[in-house]
Amino acid sequence: MANTMQFDLVSPERKLASLEVTEVEIPGAEGDFTAMADHAAVLTTLRPGVLKVTSDSGVTEYIVTGGFVEISPTAASVLAEQALPKGDVTRETIEALIKDAEFAAENLEGAELDLASKRVADTKVLLDLL
Task: Give, for all 130 residues of the chain, the pLDDT tens digit.
Answer: 469 999 999 999 899 999 999 999 999 999 999 999 999 999 999 999 999 999 999 999 999 999 999 999 999 999 999 999 999 999 999 999 999 999 988 988 999 998 889 889 988 988 988 7
Please tell me whether residues 9 and 66 are part of one structural domain: yes
Please tell me whether residues 17 and 79 are part of one structural domain: yes
Please tell me whether residues 95 and 79 are part of one structural domain: no
pTM above 0.85, yes or no: yes
Please tell me whether residues 65 and 27 are part of one structural domain: yes
Please tell me whether residues 49 and 109 are part of one structural domain: no
- Distance in angstroms (rounded) separating the CA atoms of residues 6 and 89: 25
- Structural domain total, the chain: 2
Domain that holds residue 120: 90-129
87-116 burial, b at 16+ Cβ within 10 Å, e below that, comes to: eebeeeebeebbeebeeebeeeeeeeeeeb
Contact 61, 54 (CB under 8 A): no
- Distance in angstroms (rounded) separating the CA atoms of residues 11 and 73: 23
